[in-house]
Amino acid sequence: MGKKVLGVGLSVAQYFCYTKNVDDIYKQLKSYLDYLEIEKNRSPSTRANYERYLGRFISFTKIKTIGDITESSIREFRVHLSKPDMNLKKRTQAYYVIAIRNFLKYLAIHDYKTVSPDKIELPKIPTRQINIVRYEELERLLRAPKDDSLRSLRDRAILETLFSTGLRVSELCSLDRYINVDRGEITVRGKGEKLRIVFLSERTKGALVTYLAKRFDTEPALFISLTRAKKPKVIGRIIPRTVERIVSHYARAVGITGKITPHQLRHQFATDLLANGADLRSVQELLGHSSITTTQIYTHVTNRELREIHKAFHGKRRE
């Protein structure tokens, strides 16, 4: 088997299997990826992303050792990423730069002589635009599942839970059924294995109780996948793609235009809290954001004080 380029054809592990003379840079990259997963407790998907970003950097620059990393080689790679034929968004380009800078930080901590990570400036990323549906549309969506079939009851409970808790779709799918619904709170294991508590509204508790009363299976998952038959059978834990289809299906059914996803309901959860007076730090905790900077993307659509200032002072001479 011919050798392929890391980041395109082979993973780091495969590269070690198929290559007798492993370049020093790949040894250090493997050590860094192991460090991310074992010591920093990053998820396998985070490891895979860093492997892809750094693998492409190494492949493009053709560096063989830590000493080959220079400010010039990083600059050339950044120019390469920005070319139109690469078709990469500014945010995606930033992820590559962040991965390189974090790799350099790791090398510096372990006393390798290389480019200082402080010399690598992160690109300015445009503020993400959060699209929020009107509250009337949101209510139509949440009430869209109508009948009392197991499928509809499940779907209603899913929609209510997403809006009540602000859970990521992966977190929702990982929930087990043996929770204390009456207590109105669930402990969730989120990104980086961090635990946080989310809370259930009265409507969500009601939807969950009604849904669970209809369940006679022994599947431990809170939300289940069902066959398409008239009398559906339980076929295991629900997966994120199915939840995405459920949200999209009901959004179309009630006439909501545009793309609606489970993450949209997470946005609705955050903006609803902030619009009704919740402080940013509390919303950060409820969302499970490690940095408040991430939570601040919602403030431009929920700043009540600015709204009141505009109402009180704008256009007074025209009255």
pLDDT (0 to 100) of residue 315: 63
Residue 160 lies in a domain: yes
Full pLDDT tens readout for the chain, 319 residues: 334 445 444 555 554 444 444 468 888 999 999 999 888 888 888 899 999 999 999 999 999 999 999 999 999 999 999 999 999 988 899 999 999 999 999 999 999 988 999 999 887 776 666 777 888 999 999 999 999 999 999 999 999 999 999 999 999 999 999 888 999 999 998 887 788 999 999 999 999 999 999 999 999 999 999 998 888 999 999 999 999 999 999 999 999 988 899 999 999 998 888 888 888 899 899 998 888 877 887 776 666 556 666 677 766 665 5
289 given a catalytic annotation: yes
Are 168 and 299 contained in the same domain? yes
Residue of 15, 50, 53, 298 marked active site: 298
Residue of 177, 191, 196, 203 marked active site: 191
Are 183 and 114 contained in the same domain? no
Residue of 42, 205, 267, 289 marked active site: 289
Contact 19, 65 (CB under 8 A): no
pLDDT (0 to 100) of residue 316: 63
Are 27 and 70 contained in the same domain? yes
316 given a catalytic annotation: no
Contact 270, 283 (CB under 8 A): yes
pLDDT (0 to 100) of residue 21: 46
Residue of 42, 156, 266, 267 marked active site: 266
Are 114 and 156 contained in the same domain? no
- Distances in Å between the Cα of 157 and the Cα atoms of 139, 249, 276 are 14, 15, 24
318 given a catalytic annotation: no
Domain holding 20: CATH number?
Answer: 1.10.150
The CA distance from 289 to 196, in Å, is 10
Domain boundary at 72, 87, 119, which?
119
Domain boundary at 94, 119, 144, which?
119
Are 24 and 171 contained in the same domain? no
Are 91 and 148 contained in the same domain? no
Residue 7 lies in a domain: no
Are 140 and 269 contained in the same domain? yes
Q: Residue 286: enclosing H or E segment and its boundaries?
A: helix 280-287
134 given a catalytic annotation: no
Tell me how far the alpha carbon of residue 318 is from its chain's centroid: 46
Residue 315 lies in a domain: no
pLDDT (0 to 100) of residue 259: 84
Residue of 168, 205, 211, 250 marked active site: 168
Residue 280 lies in a domain: yes
156 given a catalytic annotation: no
Residue 126 lies in a domain: no
Burial of 119 (0-12, 13-18, 19+ CB in 10 A): exposed
Residue 61 lies in a domain: yes
Query: What Rg value do the Cα atoms of the chain yield, rounded?
Result: 24
Residue 162 lies in a domain: yes
The three-state secondary structure class of 187 is strand
Are 227 and 263 contained in the same domain? yes
For 113-120, the CB contacts below 8 A with 24+ separation are: 113/66, 113/67, 114/66, 114/67, 114/69, 115/69, 115/70, 115/71, 115/74, 119/71, 120/71, 120/74
The CA distance from 234 to 64, in Å, is 52
- Distances in Å between the Cα of 143 and the Cα atoms of 29, 64, 91, 234 are 50, 59, 35, 24
- How many domains, the chain? 2
The CA distance from 227 to 205, in Å, is 25
Residue 171 lies in a domain: yes
Tell me how far the alpha carbon of residue 200 is from its chain's centroid: 21
Are 104 and 144 contained in the same domain? no
pLDDT (0 to 100) of residue 279: 86
pLDDT (0 to 100) of residue 299: 74
Start-to-end C-alpha separation, the chain: 80
266 given a catalytic annotation: yes
Residue 24: domain span: 12-119
Tell me how far the alpha carbon of residue 35 is from its chain's centroid: 22
Residue of 52, 80, 196, 263 marked active site: 263
Please name which of 266, 264, 262, 267 lies closest in space to residue 247, comparing C-alpha atoms. Answer: 262
Domain holding 266: CATH number?
Answer: 1.10.443.10
Are 155 and 85 contained in the same domain? no
DSSP assignment letter at 230: S
Are 62 and 168 contained in the same domain? no
Are 178 and 266 contained in the same domain? yes
Domain boundary at 95, 119, 143, which?
119
Q: What angle do CA 189, 191, 192 make, to 5 degrees?
A: 95
